[in-house]
Amino acid sequence: MQPLALSLTDQIVQALLGITQGLEAPLHEPSFNGHEWAYVKDCLDSTYVSSVGTYVNRFESELTKVTGARHAIAVVNGTAALHLALLLAGVRPGDEVLVPALSFVATANAVAYCHARPHFLDSEERTLGIDAHALSSWLRSQTEIRAGVCVNRRSGAVIRAMVPMHVFGHPSDLDALMRVAHDHRLVIVEDAAESLGSFIGGKHTGTLGALGTLSFNGNKTITTGGGGAVLTNDDEMARKAKHWSTTARQPHRWAFQHDALGFNYRMPNLNAALGCAQLEQLDGLVQAQRDLHNIYRDAFDAIQGVRLLHEPVGSHSNYWLQALILDRDNASHLDEILEKTNALGIMTRPLWTPLNALPHFTDCPGMPTPMAESLAARVVNIPSSPSLLRRCP
């Protein structure tokens, strides 16, 4: 019996089996340990389950308290929030929007819904977010300011906005990205879909850019079934977000007059009732995710060839999804790790396919993305539910 003879894959599998206690473990399951049923039942009893009701206003109000944003506008999901935020950022048909190649597909799809084109960016290994240094060089070489806006010299299109995404809850390097955005006249829309409860220097992710977006999908730190929100400190953008998300109908007791192209994006009150109960438990859920990280750290620090992703210095991460990064020369283990763990009921998954490799985006502009491709071959998410903590000693 020589423990040193275990392959890297088997060392990782053994460590995971120790923490999951050999039981099945989903990647991230919801935790309903508060007033979920009380609020949902109250909502049903009121019959106000749809786009009007007290819970949706309350949920928005509680979101502003939790995030420090001046305004939060609750919508049907994070994708709808991104779509609205990009429109509010002034994205027009034919524009380009800077988007990390490493993100969930919604980040780039929302750009396409505006009939604009995603312009893909490379990532950095430290945060898994946009590499600000590489981006700065890229924009200096490829763009120029004309009439106050950033123009892609090659395509001739206006680059209107940048969408940093806080991957797995870990804050991107917003300080550096905001400097780049300032130099190149770009509006920042923070995709904080994964980072509710994550802070940068005391400020909640999604509140540093002009606009931010949240998601409350079933796999997130808190869930509303389906849901999302737009965050902003700008009164006029908030007014428009609410207006456009409710079919742009002008207030009137009975007349149906709409003054712009609107959307049916308002979060239903039923989903907001669930959200209100969930949001009350946010601090505890984030703490559990952070505690789970410490347990994983103890298990993985001793294994050579792989490292557990930690929160970037100066930030406070919600540790929504725990992630292992294989060293470059161990990338070949990735498929085996995914096969063995999932076969055991321990749900793991790789990073997303880099978005610039998807068929509907292959013709889009962008910088070379060697780090995104390297990370996509080496990162694996491991079970991250707060409930997992209860299994651990």
Report d(CA 380, CA 337) in Å as an integer: 8
Interface with its own copies, residue 94, by CB under 8 A: no
Distance CA 130, CA 134 (A): 9
The token pair at 259 is: 């003054």
Q: Per DSSP, which regions of 163-260 are E strands?
A: 187-191, 199-200, 203-204, 211-215, 228-232
Instruction: Please report how close the Cβ of residue 2 comes to its own copies at its closest, in angstroms.
Output: 31
Determine, following the binding rule CB under 8 A, whether residue 76 of this chain makes contact with its own copies.
Answer: yes
Binding part of the chain for its own copies, among 118-126, 156-164, 221-229, 303-311 by CB under 8 A, reads: 221-229
Among 50, 57, 294, 332, indicate the residue that binds its own copies (CB under 8 A): 50
Can residue 188 be called a binding residue for its own copies (CB under 8 A)? Answer: no
What is the x/- site pattern for its own copies, positions 131-160, by CB under 8 A? ------------------------------
CB of 331 to its own copies, least distance (A): 15
Query: What residues contact 77, with CB distance under 8 A and at least 6 apart?
Result: 215, 216, 217, 226, 227, 228
107 is a site residue for its own copies (CB under 8 A): no
Q: How many Cβ atoms are within 10 Å of 377's Cβ, its own excluded?
A: 15
Dist CA 142 CA 156 (whole Å): 10
CA proximity to 157, closest of 113, 99, 184, 117? 117
Among 80, 99, 308, 324, which residue sits at the site for its own copies (rule: CB under 8 A)?
80
* Identified binder of its own copies from the candidate list 9, 11, 16, 36, rule CB under 8 A: 36
| E strand or H helix that includes residue 307 | strand 306-308
Q: How far is the CB of 370 from its own copies (least distance, A)?
A: 20
Q: What backbone phi and psi angles, to 5 degrees, belong to 352?
A: -65, 150
Dist CA 136 CA 162 (whole Å): 12
Q: Contact with its own copies (CB under 8 A): which of 70, 249, 310, 340?
A: 249
- According to CB under 8 A, which residues from 324 to 343 bind its own copies? 338, 342
Residue 254 binds to its own copies (criterion: CB under 8 A)? yes
Query: Interface residues with its own copies (CB under 8 A)?
Result: 29-30, 32, 36-37, 40-41, 44, 47-52, 76-80, 93, 104-106, 109, 112-113, 115, 217-219, 223, 225-226, 247, 249, 253-264, 266-271, 274, 338, 342, 347-353, 358-360
